[in-house]
Structure 1
Amino acid sequence: MAGMVKCVRPRKSSPVLALDRSMSIAQSPVKPDAALLHDIDWGTYTRLLRAFEGRRRFRLTYDRGTLEIMSPLWEHEKAAYVLGALIDVLVQELRLQYEPGRTVTLRRRRKSRGLEPDNCYWIASAGQLAGKTHLDLGVDPPPDLAIEIDVKHSSLDRMSIYAALGVPEVWRVTSAGLTFNILESGVYEVRPYSVSFPRLAGADLLALLNQPGPTGTAALIAQFRDWVRQVLLQR
């Protein structure tokens, strides 16, 4: 992620990792590469999910009758990949059981909400997903950790959707930076440490990812793995 990050000073005590960096329906102000549709019932939403299946260049977000269809940017996809790769390193080196969900659609008809995260993982609850071939959040637990890359600023409040779906932790990237968001009493609070990886602080990622000099993605991941072995595992 070298060349994509810069140091910023957080307003509060929370560590922040900062990134460098339409079609309009019913007169809704949206970006040229996004469409916002109103008065969409649940059945139409699920039919559209099936229609878009296999065409993952589109992301669908549904919130109680409003549907946003968005095409991610390159910087969005790269940030999602790099953070996902770092999480893969963490679960491997910490020898944690986990089930990756990638961009699987998370939805609850009862909540009338649904979205695709940029990456998601079952870690503490991984055992409940082992061997499953179908995800049903009416029965199965939500992912323990989701990654949300919000460099395009969705027209919908995706964090409130994650909260309604009960996702305990979201690592969120905006133009201002990266925060660890922990679900507490139905709302997200920014915290300095991850719940999924209690020894990992946001400041750790800030220091590693903001090192000077050109670093390619492969070198960054290898460097992070070395840091996990030499520092994090010794805590």
Structure 2
Amino acid sequence: GILEIMALSPEHELYKKLVGRFVETLAEELRISIYPLGSTTFSRPDKNSGLEPDECFYIQNQAAVKGKKIIDLTQNPPPDLAIEIDIISSSSNRMEVFADIGIPEIWHYDGISLTIYQLHKQEYILCNQSLTFPTLLMDKVEHFLLQAGVVDYLELINSFRRWVKDQV
């Protein structure tokens, strides 16, 4: 396999944290149980694949892994949602590894656009809506992300929370 070492910029880390907080806020306001595992290393030795997503969440399958100290992907489901932030380098070469691991949905942010990819027959296809949050308007989420670094971090989270509450 290939070992990829990436230097993480402040901008990358801000967006990673912000998109993760948005997922947590959505789950809180919609009363959906989640199990956040951040940048946990996931591997499939049987497929010679492994990676650490920027953020990941068990949502539909959270009950199957909650409390486990080790998650064996040959016996346990993969995370339901992974977040990938591409500010400096492209993660397009990582999509094949995500597919090997079997993560059903990837939210990808490049500093401008937030896109959703869903796994279909071992390949990711671009989709208009999230499996977990089907009523979520991604262009509105992009609007909040574009305010990062300009608007106070906690005020941005609170504005997002108010918007979510108005939607439900």
Tell me the TM-score normalized by structure 1.
0.67
Which of 131, 144, 155 matches 1:219? 155
What secondary structure is seen at the aligned counterpart in 1 of 2:108? strand
Mapped partners of 1:174, 1:224: distance in 2: 20
Q: How many residues align?
A: 168
What secondary structure is seen at the aligned counterpart in 2 of 1:66? coil
Report if aligned partners of 2:84, 2:91 keep a CA contact under 8 Å in 1.
Answer: no
Report if aligned partners of 2:53, 2:82 keep a CA contact under 8 Å in 1.
Answer: yes
Question: Which residue does 2:135 correspond to in 1?
Answer: 199
Q: 1:94 deviation in Å?
A: 0.8
Q: Output the amino acid matched with 1:100.
A: P
Mapped partners of 1:85, 1:155: distance in 2: 21
Report if aligned partners of 2:58, 2:80 keep a CA contact under 8 Å in 1.
Answer: yes
Q: Output the amino acid matched with 1:139.
A: Q
Mapped partners of 2:142, 2:52: distance in 1: 26
Greater radius of gyration (CA): 1
1:1-235 matched pairs, under 5 angstroms = 65-154=1-90, 157-175=93-111, 177-210=113-146, 214-231=150-167, 233=168
| 5+ long unaligned stretches in structure 2 | none
Q: CA RMSD in A?
A: 2.0
Mapped partners of 1:96, 1:161: distance in 2: 28
Identity %: 38
Mapped partners of 1:175, 1:220: distance in 2: 16
Mapped partners of 1:81, 1:209: distance in 2: 11
Mapped partners of 2:92, 2:19: distance in 1: 23
Structure ranking higher in helix proportion: 2
Change in CA separation of 1:156 and 1:200 when aligned onto 2, cut-off 3 Å: closer
Report if aligned partners of 1:68, 1:155 keep a CA contact under 8 Å in 2.
Answer: no
